[in-house]
Structure 1
Protein backbone atom coordinates (compact mmCIF):
# COMPACT_ATOMS: atom_id res chain seq x y z
CA UNK A 1 0.00 0.00 0.00
CA UNK A 2 2.86 2.37 0.86
CA UNK A 3 4.69 1.48 -2.35
CA UNK A 4 1.56 2.16 -4.43
CA UNK A 5 1.20 5.60 -2.82
CA UNK A 6 4.83 6.58 -3.36
CA UNK A 7 5.07 5.28 -6.91
CA UNK A 8 3.41 8.30 -8.66
CA UNK A 9 5.55 10.78 -6.71
CA UNK A 10 8.68 8.87 -7.59
CA UNK A 11 7.67 8.74 -11.25
CA UNK A 12 6.89 12.50 -11.34
CA UNK A 13 10.23 13.29 -9.64
CA UNK A 14 12.08 11.14 -12.14
CA UNK A 15 10.35 12.85 -15.06
CA UNK A 16 11.24 16.25 -13.60
CA UNK A 17 14.87 15.25 -13.16
CA UNK A 18 15.10 13.80 -16.70
CA UNK A 19 16.70 16.49 -18.98
CA UNK A 20 14.98 15.16 -22.08
CA UNK A 21 11.54 15.43 -20.46
CA UNK A 22 12.34 19.00 -19.30
CA UNK A 23 13.44 20.07 -22.77
CA UNK A 24 10.29 18.64 -24.34
CA UNK A 25 8.18 20.47 -21.77
CA UNK A 26 9.92 23.78 -22.47
CA UNK A 27 9.51 23.25 -26.23
CA UNK A 28 5.79 22.64 -25.82
CA UNK A 29 5.49 25.76 -23.66
CA UNK A 30 7.40 27.84 -26.23
CA UNK A 31 5.22 26.54 -29.07
CA UNK A 32 2.11 27.48 -27.11
CA UNK A 33 3.49 30.98 -26.54
CA UNK A 34 4.27 31.41 -30.25
CA UNK A 35 0.80 30.12 -31.20
CA UNK A 36 -0.87 32.59 -28.81
CA UNK A 37 1.32 35.44 -30.14
CA UNK A 38 0.35 34.69 -33.75
CA UNK A 39 -3.27 34.44 -32.69
CA UNK A 40 -3.16 38.00 -31.37
CA UNK A 41 -1.22 39.15 -34.44
CA UNK A 42 -3.64 37.49 -36.85
CA UNK A 43 -5.93 40.53 -37.37
CA UNK A 44 -2.98 42.80 -38.13
CA UNK A 45 -1.34 40.23 -40.40
CA UNK A 46 -4.65 39.75 -42.22
CA UNK A 47 -4.96 43.50 -42.68
CA UNK A 48 -1.47 43.77 -44.19
CA UNK A 49 -2.08 40.73 -46.38
CA UNK A 50 -5.28 42.19 -47.81
CA UNK A 51 -4.23 45.82 -48.16
CA UNK A 52 -0.46 45.53 -48.74
CA UNK A 53 0.74 42.12 -49.93
CA UNK A 54 -2.11 41.40 -52.36
CA UNK A 55 -2.06 44.89 -53.98
CA UNK A 56 1.73 44.70 -54.21
CA UNK A 57 1.55 41.34 -55.93
CA UNK A 58 -1.19 42.58 -58.28
CA UNK A 59 0.86 45.67 -59.12
CA UNK A 60 3.86 43.47 -59.90
CA UNK A 61 1.67 41.39 -62.22
CA UNK A 62 0.36 44.52 -63.95
CA UNK A 63 3.86 45.93 -64.38
CA UNK A 64 4.62 42.98 -66.67
CA UNK A 65 1.25 43.03 -68.43
CA UNK A 66 -0.94 45.19 -70.61
CA UNK A 67 -4.32 46.00 -69.06
CA UNK A 68 -6.89 48.74 -69.63
CA UNK A 69 -8.37 48.53 -66.13
CA UNK A 70 -11.62 46.68 -66.84
CA UNK A 71 -12.05 42.88 -67.01
CA UNK A 72 -9.35 40.82 -65.31
CA UNK A 73 -9.49 38.39 -68.22
CA UNK A 74 -8.06 41.12 -70.47
CA UNK A 75 -4.69 41.11 -68.69
CA UNK A 76 -2.10 40.41 -71.38
CA UNK A 77 1.43 39.45 -70.18
CA UNK A 78 4.17 41.37 -72.00
CA UNK A 79 7.23 40.61 -69.86
CA UNK A 80 9.52 43.60 -69.32
CA UNK A 81 8.16 45.65 -72.22
CA UNK A 82 6.60 48.20 -69.87
CA UNK A 83 9.93 48.81 -68.14
CA UNK A 84 11.90 49.07 -71.38
CA UNK A 85 9.25 51.41 -72.77
CA UNK A 86 9.79 53.82 -69.89
CA UNK A 87 13.44 54.29 -70.87
CA UNK A 88 13.13 53.90 -74.65
CA UNK A 89 14.10 56.66 -77.07
CA UNK A 90 11.39 59.29 -77.20
CA UNK A 91 10.02 58.45 -73.76
CA UNK A 92 9.58 61.39 -71.42
CA UNK A 93 9.74 59.34 -68.22
CA UNK A 94 13.49 59.63 -67.60
CA UNK A 95 13.65 63.24 -68.76
CA UNK A 96 11.93 65.40 -67.80
CA UNK A 97 9.55 63.44 -65.51
CA UNK A 98 12.00 61.51 -63.30
CA UNK A 99 14.43 64.43 -63.44
CA UNK A 100 11.66 66.78 -62.27
CA UNK A 101 10.85 64.36 -59.45
CA UNK A 102 14.43 64.38 -58.14
CA UNK A 103 14.80 68.15 -58.56
CA UNK A 104 11.49 68.71 -56.78
CA UNK A 105 12.53 66.49 -53.87
CA UNK A 106 16.02 68.01 -53.63
CA UNK A 107 14.70 71.56 -53.73
CA UNK A 108 12.06 70.80 -51.12
CA UNK A 109 14.58 69.20 -48.76
CA UNK A 110 17.12 72.02 -49.19
CA UNK A 111 14.63 74.83 -48.56
CA UNK A 112 12.69 73.08 -45.80
CA UNK A 113 15.84 71.97 -43.98
CA UNK A 114 17.54 75.37 -44.15
CA UNK A 115 14.38 77.20 -43.14
CA UNK A 116 13.46 74.83 -40.32
CA UNK A 117 16.98 74.89 -38.82
CA UNK A 118 16.99 78.69 -38.86
CA UNK A 119 13.48 79.04 -37.44
CA UNK A 120 13.94 76.28 -34.84
CA UNK A 121 17.14 77.92 -33.59
CA UNK A 122 15.38 81.28 -33.28
CA UNK A 123 12.33 79.77 -31.55
CA UNK A 124 14.59 78.03 -29.05
CA UNK A 125 15.71 81.46 -27.82
CA UNK A 126 12.25 83.07 -27.67
CA UNK A 127 9.45 83.13 -25.14
CA UNK A 128 6.10 81.45 -25.83
CA UNK A 129 7.77 78.71 -27.87
CA UNK A 130 4.60 76.62 -27.97
CA UNK A 131 2.74 79.46 -29.70
CA UNK A 132 5.41 79.87 -32.38
CA UNK A 133 5.58 76.13 -33.03
CA UNK A 134 1.79 76.03 -33.38
CA UNK A 135 1.78 78.90 -35.88
CA UNK A 136 4.42 77.25 -38.04
CA UNK A 137 2.62 73.92 -37.82
CA UNK A 138 -0.69 75.27 -39.16
CA UNK A 139 0.12 74.56 -42.85
CA UNK A 140 0.50 70.86 -41.97
CA UNK A 141 -3.10 70.55 -40.79
CA UNK A 142 -4.41 72.53 -43.78
CA UNK A 143 -5.54 70.47 -46.77
CA UNK A 144 -3.19 70.38 -49.74
CA UNK A 145 -6.00 71.53 -52.04
CA UNK A 146 -6.52 74.68 -49.99
CA UNK A 147 -2.79 75.42 -49.79
CA UNK A 148 -2.32 74.86 -53.52
CA UNK A 149 -5.25 77.07 -54.53
CA UNK A 150 -4.24 79.92 -52.21
CA UNK A 151 -0.69 79.95 -53.54
CA UNK A 152 -1.94 79.57 -57.09
CA UNK A 153 -3.89 82.81 -56.75
CA UNK A 154 -0.94 84.48 -55.03
CA UNK A 155 1.23 83.63 -58.05
CA UNK A 156 -1.27 85.12 -60.53
CA UNK A 157 -0.21 88.27 -62.45
CA UNK A 158 -2.51 90.32 -60.19
CA UNK A 159 -1.74 88.30 -57.08
CA UNK A 160 0.07 89.16 -53.87
CA UNK A 161 3.55 88.03 -54.96
CA UNK A 162 3.54 90.05 -58.17
CA UNK A 163 1.97 92.94 -56.27
CA UNK A 164 4.98 93.01 -53.95
CA UNK A 165 7.36 92.81 -56.91
CA UNK A 166 5.58 95.68 -58.64
CA UNK A 167 5.72 97.74 -55.46
CA UNK A 168 9.48 97.24 -55.45
CA UNK A 169 9.71 98.47 -59.03
CA UNK A 170 10.13 95.02 -60.57
CA UNK A 171 8.11 93.53 -63.38
CA UNK A 172 5.51 90.79 -63.02
CA UNK A 173 6.60 87.17 -63.33
CA UNK A 174 4.50 84.38 -64.83
CA UNK A 175 5.45 82.00 -62.04
CA UNK A 176 3.27 79.04 -63.02
CA UNK A 177 2.99 79.74 -66.75
CA UNK A 178 6.72 79.91 -67.50
CA UNK A 179 8.49 76.52 -67.81
CA UNK A 180 11.62 78.02 -66.24
CA UNK A 181 9.88 79.21 -63.07
CA UNK A 182 6.99 76.77 -62.66
CA UNK A 183 8.89 73.98 -60.89
CA UNK A 184 10.83 76.27 -58.50
CA UNK A 185 7.56 78.05 -57.65
CA UNK A 186 5.88 74.80 -56.64
CA UNK A 187 9.02 73.74 -54.72
CA UNK A 188 8.74 76.90 -52.61
CA UNK A 189 5.13 76.07 -51.74
CA UNK A 190 5.95 72.46 -50.85
CA UNK A 191 8.84 73.57 -48.64
CA UNK A 192 6.67 76.21 -46.94
CA UNK A 193 3.93 73.67 -46.29
CA UNK A 194 6.29 71.05 -44.82
CA UNK A 195 8.58 73.25 -42.74
CA UNK A 196 6.27 73.06 -39.71
CA UNK A 197 6.81 69.35 -39.06
CA UNK A 198 10.56 69.78 -39.45
CA UNK A 199 10.53 72.60 -36.91
CA UNK A 200 8.81 70.38 -34.35
CA UNK A 201 11.44 67.67 -34.77
CA UNK A 202 14.38 70.09 -34.67
CA UNK A 203 13.14 72.03 -31.66
CA UNK A 204 12.82 68.75 -29.80
CA UNK A 205 16.38 67.92 -30.85
CA UNK A 206 17.62 71.30 -29.62
CA UNK A 207 16.05 70.66 -26.23
CA UNK A 208 18.13 67.49 -25.90
CA UNK A 209 21.45 69.34 -26.29
CA UNK A 210 23.01 69.71 -22.80
CA UNK A 211 23.37 73.33 -21.66
CA UNK A 212 26.79 72.47 -20.23
CA UNK A 213 28.19 72.35 -23.78
CA UNK A 214 27.11 75.92 -24.46
CA UNK A 215 28.42 77.07 -21.07
CA UNK A 216 31.80 75.50 -21.79
CA UNK A 217 31.89 77.11 -25.24
CA UNK A 218 31.06 80.51 -23.73
CA UNK A 219 33.91 80.14 -21.19
CA UNK A 220 36.27 79.34 -24.08
CA UNK A 221 35.16 82.47 -25.91
CA UNK A 222 33.43 80.74 -28.82
CA UNK A 223 31.17 82.96 -30.89
CA UNK A 224 27.59 82.17 -31.97
CA UNK A 225 28.66 80.93 -35.42
CA UNK A 226 31.28 78.60 -33.97
CA UNK A 227 28.82 77.29 -31.38
CA UNK A 228 26.22 76.67 -34.08
CA UNK A 229 28.53 74.75 -36.43
CA UNK A 230 30.63 73.00 -33.78
CA UNK A 231 28.00 72.08 -31.19
CA UNK A 232 24.43 72.57 -32.37
CA UNK A 233 24.58 71.05 -35.85
CA UNK A 234 26.67 67.96 -34.92
CA UNK A 235 24.37 67.14 -32.00
CA UNK A 236 21.30 67.66 -34.21
CA UNK A 237 22.45 64.93 -36.62
CA UNK A 238 19.80 62.33 -35.61
CA UNK A 239 17.02 64.92 -35.98
CA UNK A 240 18.45 66.16 -39.28
CA UNK A 241 18.57 62.59 -40.58
CA UNK A 242 14.91 62.07 -39.74
CA UNK A 243 13.91 65.35 -41.38
CA UNK A 244 15.97 64.68 -44.51
CA UNK A 245 14.61 61.17 -45.01
CA UNK A 246 10.96 62.09 -44.38
CA UNK A 247 11.10 65.27 -46.48
CA UNK A 248 12.79 63.47 -49.35
CA UNK A 249 10.22 60.67 -49.29
CA UNK A 250 7.43 63.25 -49.31
CA UNK A 251 9.02 65.12 -52.20
CA UNK A 252 9.54 62.01 -54.31
CA UNK A 253 5.93 60.93 -53.84
CA UNK A 254 4.36 64.38 -54.19
CA UNK A 255 1.24 64.43 -56.34
CA UNK A 256 -1.66 66.46 -54.96
CA UNK A 257 0.05 69.87 -54.75
CA UNK A 258 1.35 69.72 -58.32
CA UNK A 259 -1.98 68.43 -59.57
CA UNK A 260 -3.79 71.38 -57.97
CA UNK A 261 -1.35 74.13 -58.94
CA UNK A 262 -0.09 73.21 -62.42
CA UNK A 263 -1.48 69.78 -63.43
CA UNK A 264 2.07 69.00 -64.58
CA UNK A 265 2.31 71.97 -66.92
CA UNK A 266 3.22 74.02 -68.72
CA UNK A 267 4.06 71.10 -70.98
CA UNK A 268 5.91 68.65 -68.75
CA UNK A 269 7.76 71.34 -66.81
CA UNK A 270 6.28 70.25 -63.47
CA UNK A 271 5.26 66.70 -64.32
CA UNK A 272 6.56 64.22 -61.72
CA UNK A 273 6.50 60.44 -61.41
CA UNK A 274 3.44 60.17 -59.17
CA UNK A 275 1.40 62.45 -61.42
CA UNK A 276 2.52 60.54 -64.52
CA UNK A 277 1.46 57.26 -62.91
CA UNK A 278 -1.98 58.74 -62.26
CA UNK A 279 -2.23 59.94 -65.85
CA UNK A 280 -1.17 56.63 -67.35
CA UNK A 281 -3.65 54.67 -65.25
CA UNK A 282 -6.74 56.88 -65.06
CA UNK A 283 -6.42 59.14 -68.11
CA UNK A 284 -4.88 56.80 -70.68
CA UNK A 285 -5.99 53.44 -69.26
CA UNK A 286 -2.45 52.02 -69.38
CA UNK A 287 -2.21 50.29 -66.02
CA UNK A 288 0.85 48.29 -67.00
CA UNK A 289 2.98 51.37 -67.67
CA UNK A 290 1.66 53.02 -64.50
CA UNK A 291 2.60 49.98 -62.39
CA UNK A 292 6.05 49.77 -63.99
CA UNK A 293 6.60 53.47 -63.22
CA UNK A 294 5.52 52.82 -59.62
CA UNK A 295 8.20 50.14 -59.19
CA UNK A 296 10.84 52.38 -60.76
CA UNK A 297 9.88 55.14 -58.33
CA UNK A 298 10.04 52.63 -55.47
CA UNK A 299 13.62 51.73 -56.42
CA UNK A 300 14.56 55.42 -56.59
CA UNK A 301 13.07 56.01 -53.13
CA UNK A 302 14.89 52.96 -51.74
CA UNK A 303 18.27 53.96 -53.19
CA UNK A 304 17.98 57.57 -52.04
CA UNK A 305 16.92 56.55 -48.52
CA UNK A 306 19.77 54.05 -48.17
CA UNK A 307 22.24 56.65 -49.47
CA UNK A 308 21.05 59.16 -46.88
CA UNK A 309 21.32 56.63 -44.05
CA UNK A 310 24.82 55.64 -45.18
CA UNK A 311 25.94 59.26 -45.47
CA UNK A 312 24.73 60.27 -42.00
CA UNK A 313 26.07 57.07 -40.42
CA UNK A 314 29.46 57.66 -42.02
CA UNK A 315 29.49 61.24 -40.83
CA UNK A 316 28.62 60.05 -37.35
CA UNK A 317 31.53 57.62 -37.34
CA UNK A 318 33.92 60.30 -38.59
CA UNK A 319 32.82 62.62 -35.82
Structure 2
Protein backbone atom coordinates (compact mmCIF):
# COMPACT_ATOMS: atom_id res chain seq x y z
CA UNK A 1 0.00 0.00 0.00
CA UNK A 2 2.93 2.33 0.70
CA UNK A 3 3.92 2.33 -2.96
CA UNK A 4 0.68 4.09 -3.85
CA UNK A 5 1.95 7.13 -1.93
CA UNK A 6 5.13 7.42 -4.00
CA UNK A 7 3.60 9.61 -6.78
CA UNK A 8 2.15 12.00 -4.19
CA UNK A 9 5.47 12.20 -2.34
CA UNK A 10 7.35 12.89 -5.57
CA UNK A 11 4.78 15.51 -6.58
CA UNK A 12 5.07 17.29 -3.22
CA UNK A 13 8.85 17.09 -3.33
CA UNK A 14 8.99 18.74 -6.75
CA UNK A 15 6.53 21.50 -5.85
CA UNK A 16 7.61 22.10 -2.23
CA UNK A 17 11.01 20.76 -1.24
CA UNK A 18 12.84 21.79 -4.40
CA UNK A 19 11.63 25.44 -4.34
CA UNK A 20 12.53 25.63 -0.63
CA UNK A 21 16.01 24.32 -1.40
CA UNK A 22 16.43 26.95 -4.12
CA UNK A 23 15.20 29.64 -1.72
CA UNK A 24 17.72 28.63 0.93
CA UNK A 25 20.51 28.47 -1.62
CA UNK A 26 19.57 31.90 -2.95
CA UNK A 27 19.65 33.33 0.59
CA UNK A 28 23.33 32.36 0.99
CA UNK A 29 24.33 33.52 -2.48
CA UNK A 30 24.73 36.79 -4.34
CA UNK A 31 21.85 36.86 -6.82
CA UNK A 32 21.25 39.83 -9.08
CA UNK A 33 19.47 40.23 -12.43
CA UNK A 34 22.83 39.81 -14.15
CA UNK A 35 23.41 36.30 -12.77
CA UNK A 36 19.84 35.17 -12.04
CA UNK A 37 19.98 32.47 -14.70
CA UNK A 38 23.72 31.83 -14.47
CA UNK A 39 25.85 30.74 -11.52
CA UNK A 40 25.30 32.17 -8.04
CA UNK A 41 28.30 33.25 -5.99
CA UNK A 42 28.39 31.81 -2.46
CA UNK A 43 28.46 34.53 0.24
CA UNK A 44 27.66 32.49 3.34
CA UNK A 45 25.63 34.24 6.03
CA UNK A 46 26.49 37.78 4.96
CA UNK A 47 22.94 38.29 3.62
CA UNK A 48 21.51 37.33 7.01
CA UNK A 49 23.93 39.63 8.83
CA UNK A 50 22.92 42.47 6.50
CA UNK A 51 19.23 41.70 7.01
CA UNK A 52 19.44 41.63 10.82
CA UNK A 53 21.42 44.86 10.81
CA UNK A 54 18.70 46.56 8.76
CA UNK A 55 16.23 48.69 10.71
CA UNK A 56 13.59 47.91 8.08
CA UNK A 57 13.62 44.20 8.95
CA UNK A 58 12.81 44.92 12.59
CA UNK A 59 10.20 47.50 11.58
CA UNK A 60 8.51 44.93 9.34
CA UNK A 61 8.77 42.29 12.05
CA UNK A 62 7.01 44.70 14.43
CA UNK A 63 4.28 45.38 11.83
CA UNK A 64 3.86 41.63 11.34
CA UNK A 65 3.56 41.14 15.11
CA UNK A 66 0.91 43.87 15.43
CA UNK A 67 -0.97 42.40 12.48
CA UNK A 68 -0.88 38.93 14.06
CA UNK A 69 -1.98 40.17 17.50
CA UNK A 70 -4.99 41.93 15.94
CA UNK A 71 -5.93 38.76 14.06
CA UNK A 72 -5.62 36.66 17.21
CA UNK A 73 -7.82 39.01 19.20
CA UNK A 74 -10.48 39.10 16.49
CA UNK A 75 -10.54 35.36 15.79
CA UNK A 76 -10.47 34.20 19.41
CA UNK A 77 -12.59 36.84 21.16
CA UNK A 78 -15.10 37.86 18.49
CA UNK A 79 -15.09 34.35 17.05
CA UNK A 80 -15.91 32.80 20.42
CA UNK A 81 -18.71 35.25 21.21
CA UNK A 82 -20.27 34.97 17.74
CA UNK A 83 -20.01 31.18 17.76
CA UNK A 84 -21.89 31.05 21.07
CA UNK A 85 -24.73 33.04 19.53
CA UNK A 86 -24.85 30.80 16.46
CA UNK A 87 -24.69 27.64 18.56
CA UNK A 88 -28.35 28.20 19.37
CA UNK A 89 -31.11 27.02 17.06
CA UNK A 90 -31.95 30.28 15.31
CA UNK A 91 -34.31 30.26 12.34
CA UNK A 92 -31.84 32.39 10.40
CA UNK A 93 -28.94 30.11 11.30
CA UNK A 94 -28.47 28.63 7.83
CA UNK A 95 -28.71 32.04 6.18
CA UNK A 96 -26.05 33.52 8.49
CA UNK A 97 -23.76 30.53 7.92
CA UNK A 98 -24.19 30.88 4.17
CA UNK A 99 -23.18 34.56 4.36
CA UNK A 100 -20.11 33.66 6.43
CA UNK A 101 -19.04 30.95 4.01
CA UNK A 102 -19.51 33.38 1.13
CA UNK A 103 -17.34 36.01 2.85
CA UNK A 104 -14.68 33.45 3.75
CA UNK A 105 -14.58 32.10 0.18
CA UNK A 106 -14.14 35.51 -1.47
CA UNK A 107 -10.64 36.06 -2.93
CA UNK A 108 -8.48 38.48 -0.90
CA UNK A 109 -8.10 40.66 -3.99
CA UNK A 110 -11.86 41.19 -4.17
CA UNK A 111 -12.21 41.83 -0.43
CA UNK A 112 -9.21 44.16 -0.40
CA UNK A 113 -10.46 46.27 -3.29
CA UNK A 114 -13.93 46.59 -1.75
CA UNK A 115 -12.51 47.77 1.57
CA UNK A 116 -10.00 50.04 -0.15
CA UNK A 117 -12.94 51.81 -1.76
CA UNK A 118 -14.75 52.02 1.60
CA UNK A 119 -11.65 53.33 3.42
CA UNK A 120 -10.82 55.85 0.70
CA UNK A 121 -10.50 59.48 1.73
CA UNK A 122 -13.89 60.18 0.14
CA UNK A 123 -15.24 56.69 0.72
CA UNK A 124 -18.34 55.53 2.53
CA UNK A 125 -16.73 55.28 5.97
CA UNK A 126 -15.35 58.83 6.00
CA UNK A 127 -18.58 60.13 4.48
CA UNK A 128 -20.54 58.50 7.30
CA UNK A 129 -18.15 59.98 9.87
CA UNK A 130 -18.63 63.40 8.28
CA UNK A 131 -22.41 63.12 8.61
CA UNK A 132 -21.90 62.39 12.30
CA UNK A 133 -19.70 65.47 12.66
CA UNK A 134 -16.48 63.49 13.01
CA UNK A 135 -13.41 64.52 11.06
CA UNK A 136 -12.41 62.13 8.29
CA UNK A 137 -9.46 59.78 8.86
CA UNK A 138 -6.75 58.88 6.37
CA UNK A 139 -7.12 55.15 7.05
CA UNK A 140 -4.75 53.85 4.39
CA UNK A 141 -2.39 56.82 4.07
CA UNK A 142 -1.47 57.39 7.70
CA UNK A 143 1.46 55.54 9.31
CA UNK A 144 -0.56 55.37 12.54
CA UNK A 145 -3.61 53.70 11.01
CA UNK A 146 -2.43 51.75 7.95
CA UNK A 147 -1.35 48.49 9.61
CA UNK A 148 -4.42 48.46 11.85
CA UNK A 149 -6.69 49.05 8.86
CA UNK A 150 -5.10 46.15 7.01
CA UNK A 151 -5.44 43.99 10.13
CA UNK A 152 -9.12 44.94 10.41
CA UNK A 153 -9.82 43.86 6.83
CA UNK A 154 -7.89 40.61 7.28
CA UNK A 155 -9.79 39.94 10.51
CA UNK A 156 -13.10 40.63 8.81
CA UNK A 157 -12.21 38.03 6.18
CA UNK A 158 -10.94 35.42 8.65
CA UNK A 159 -13.57 35.67 11.39
CA UNK A 160 -16.13 33.50 9.50
CA UNK A 161 -13.66 30.59 9.50
CA UNK A 162 -12.99 31.09 13.21
CA UNK A 163 -16.72 31.23 14.00
CA UNK A 164 -17.49 28.05 12.06
CA UNK A 165 -14.58 26.20 13.69
CA UNK A 166 -15.50 27.28 17.23
CA UNK A 167 -19.20 26.64 16.60
CA UNK A 168 -18.43 23.07 15.53
CA UNK A 169 -16.45 22.60 18.74
CA UNK A 170 -19.29 24.02 20.85
CA UNK A 171 -21.82 21.69 19.24
CA UNK A 172 -19.60 18.74 20.18
CA UNK A 173 -19.73 19.63 23.89
CA UNK A 174 -21.82 16.95 25.69
CA UNK A 175 -25.19 18.39 26.54
CA UNK A 176 -25.29 16.34 29.74
CA UNK A 177 -22.51 18.50 31.20
CA UNK A 178 -24.28 21.73 30.17
CA UNK A 179 -27.61 20.55 31.60
CA UNK A 180 -25.97 19.48 34.85
CA UNK A 181 -24.32 22.89 35.21
CA UNK A 182 -27.63 24.62 34.54
CA UNK A 183 -29.35 22.49 37.20
CA UNK A 184 -26.63 23.50 39.66
CA UNK A 185 -27.54 27.13 39.04
CA UNK A 186 -24.95 28.18 36.47
CA UNK A 187 -26.15 31.00 34.24
CA UNK A 188 -25.65 31.22 30.45
CA UNK A 189 -22.41 33.23 30.63
CA UNK A 190 -20.98 31.06 33.40
CA UNK A 191 -21.68 27.99 31.30
CA UNK A 192 -19.97 29.59 28.31
CA UNK A 193 -16.81 30.63 30.12
CA UNK A 194 -16.47 27.98 32.84
CA UNK A 195 -17.85 24.93 31.04
CA UNK A 196 -17.65 25.40 27.27
CA UNK A 197 -14.40 27.36 27.14
CA UNK A 198 -12.22 24.76 28.91
CA UNK A 199 -13.76 21.94 26.88
CA UNK A 200 -13.02 23.57 23.52
CA UNK A 201 -9.55 24.79 24.52
CA UNK A 202 -7.79 22.33 22.12
CA UNK A 203 -9.76 23.78 19.21
CA UNK A 204 -8.96 27.32 20.29
CA UNK A 205 -5.27 26.39 20.53
CA UNK A 206 -5.24 25.07 16.98
CA UNK A 207 -7.13 28.14 15.76
CA UNK A 208 -4.59 30.40 17.49
CA UNK A 209 -1.68 28.55 15.88
CA UNK A 210 -3.28 28.72 12.43
CA UNK A 211 -3.89 32.44 12.93
CA UNK A 212 -0.26 33.06 13.86
CA UNK A 213 0.86 31.10 10.79
CA UNK A 214 -1.40 33.22 8.61
CA UNK A 215 -0.14 36.40 10.25
CA UNK A 216 3.46 35.61 9.41
CA UNK A 217 2.42 34.77 5.83
CA UNK A 218 0.47 38.01 5.41
CA UNK A 219 0.94 39.47 1.95
CA UNK A 220 -2.29 39.68 -0.02
CA UNK A 221 -4.20 42.32 1.94
CA UNK A 222 -1.05 44.40 2.46
CA UNK A 223 -0.39 44.40 -1.28
CA UNK A 224 -3.96 45.26 -2.28
CA UNK A 225 -4.68 47.88 0.36
CA UNK A 226 -1.46 49.79 1.05
CA UNK A 227 1.43 48.18 -0.87
CA UNK A 228 3.36 48.39 2.38
CA UNK A 229 2.81 52.12 2.75
CA UNK A 230 2.75 54.85 3.56
CA UNK A 231 6.48 54.46 3.25
CA UNK A 232 7.05 51.05 4.80
CA UNK A 233 4.81 51.44 7.86
CA UNK A 234 2.53 48.52 6.92
CA UNK A 235 5.14 46.33 5.19
CA UNK A 236 5.02 42.89 6.80
CA UNK A 237 7.90 40.42 6.42
CA UNK A 238 6.44 38.64 3.35
CA UNK A 239 5.75 41.96 1.64
CA UNK A 240 9.25 43.22 2.49
CA UNK A 241 10.68 40.09 0.88
CA UNK A 242 8.56 40.72 -2.22
CA UNK A 243 9.69 44.36 -2.39
CA UNK A 244 13.36 43.50 -2.06
CA UNK A 245 13.18 40.76 -4.71
CA UNK A 246 10.81 42.16 -7.32
CA UNK A 247 11.04 45.94 -6.84
CA UNK A 248 14.68 46.44 -5.91
CA UNK A 249 15.69 43.26 -7.82
CA UNK A 250 17.86 42.18 -4.88
CA UNK A 251 16.84 38.53 -5.10
CA UNK A 252 19.31 37.28 -2.49
CA UNK A 253 18.09 39.75 0.15
CA UNK A 254 14.46 39.00 -0.71
CA UNK A 255 15.15 35.27 -0.32
CA UNK A 256 16.88 35.94 3.01
CA UNK A 257 13.90 37.84 4.43
CA UNK A 258 11.50 35.20 3.10
CA UNK A 259 13.58 32.51 4.80
CA UNK A 260 13.51 34.39 8.11
CA UNK A 261 9.71 34.66 7.89
CA UNK A 262 9.52 30.99 6.90
CA UNK A 263 11.43 29.97 10.03
CA UNK A 264 8.69 31.51 12.18
CA UNK A 265 6.03 29.67 10.17
CA UNK A 266 7.89 26.35 10.48
CA UNK A 267 8.24 26.75 14.25
CA UNK A 268 4.53 27.49 14.60
CA UNK A 269 3.71 24.61 12.22
CA UNK A 270 5.62 22.20 14.46
CA UNK A 271 3.69 23.49 17.46
CA UNK A 272 0.47 23.03 15.45
CA UNK A 273 1.38 19.43 14.59
CA UNK A 274 2.11 18.69 18.23
CA UNK A 275 -1.14 20.29 19.39
CA UNK A 276 -3.13 18.37 16.76
CA UNK A 277 -1.57 15.10 17.85
CA UNK A 278 -2.33 15.87 21.47
CA UNK A 279 -5.97 16.69 20.63
CA UNK A 280 -6.39 13.37 18.78
CA UNK A 281 -5.13 11.56 21.86
CA UNK A 282 -7.72 13.20 24.12
Residues 237 and 312 of structure 1 are in contact (CA less than 8 Å); yes or no, is this contact kept in structure 2?
no
2:224 is aligned to: 260
Which segments of structure 1 move beyond 6 Å, counting only runs of 4 or more? 307-314
SS of aligned partner of 2:145: helix
Residues 144 and 257 of structure 1 are in contact (CA less than 8 Å); yes or no, is this contact kept in structure 2?
yes
1:191 is aligned to: 155
- Give the superposition deviation at 1:187: 0.6
- Give the superposition deviation at 1:289: 1.1
Cα-to-partner distance string for 1:186-228 (whole Å, 9 max, x where unaligned): 1110000011111111111111011111211111111222111
5 Å matches for 1:103-182?
103-125=66-88, 126-182=90-146
| Structure 1 residues 235 and 61: alpha-carbon distance in aligned structure 2, compared to 1, 3 A threshold | same
Residues 205 and 275 of structure 2 are in contact (CA less than 8 Å); yes or no, is this contact kept in structure 1?
no
Partner of residue 78 from structure 1, selected from 38, 43, 57: 43
1:100 is aligned to: 63
Distance 1:138 1:53 in 2: 33
Distance 1:64 1:272 in 2: 22
5 Å matches for 1:285-296?
285-296=249-260
Residues 100 and 272 of structure 1 are in contact (CA less than 8 Å); yes or no, is this contact kept in structure 2?
yes
2:202 is aligned to: 238
2:248 is aligned to: 284
Distance 2:116 2:94 in 1: 30
Residues 219 and 238 of structure 2 are in contact (CA less than 8 Å); yes or no, is this contact kept in structure 1?
yes
Residues 206 and 276 of structure 2 are in contact (CA less than 8 Å); yes or no, is this contact kept in structure 1?
no
- Give the superposition deviation at 1:310: 8.1
Partner of residue 204 from structure 1, selected from 160, 168, 184: 168
2:20 is aligned to: 56
SS of aligned partner of 1:180: coil
1:215 is aligned to: 179
Distance 1:210 1:311 in 2: 22
Segment drifting more, 67-76 vs 220-229: 67-76
1:44 is aligned to: 8
Cα-to-partner distance string for 1:113-155 (whole Å, 9 max, x where unaligned): 2121111111112234222111122222111111111111111
Instruction: Mark the runs of 5 or more structure 2 residues left unpaired by the alignment.
Output: none
In the superposition, the TM-score normalised over structure 2's length comes to 0.91
In the superposition, the TM-score normalised over structure 1's length comes to 0.81
5 Å matches for 1:292-303?
292-303=256-267
Cα-to-partner distance string for 1:8-60 (whole Å, 9 max, x where unaligned): xxxxxxxxxxxxxxxxxxxxxxxxxxxx633x222112212211222121111
Residues 117 and 202 of structure 1 are in contact (CA less than 8 Å); yes or no, is this contact kept in structure 2?
yes
| Structure 1 residues 37 and 100: alpha-carbon distance in aligned structure 2, compared to 1, 3 A threshold | same
- Give the superposition deviation at 1:303: 3.6
Distance 1:112 1:306 in 2: 21
Paired residues, number: 276
Residues 202 and 239 of structure 1 are in contact (CA less than 8 Å); yes or no, is this contact kept in structure 2?
yes
Larger Rg: 1
Segment drifting more, 266-275 vs 111-120: 111-120
Distance 2:164 2:193 in 1: 20
Distance 1:186 1:151 in 2: 9
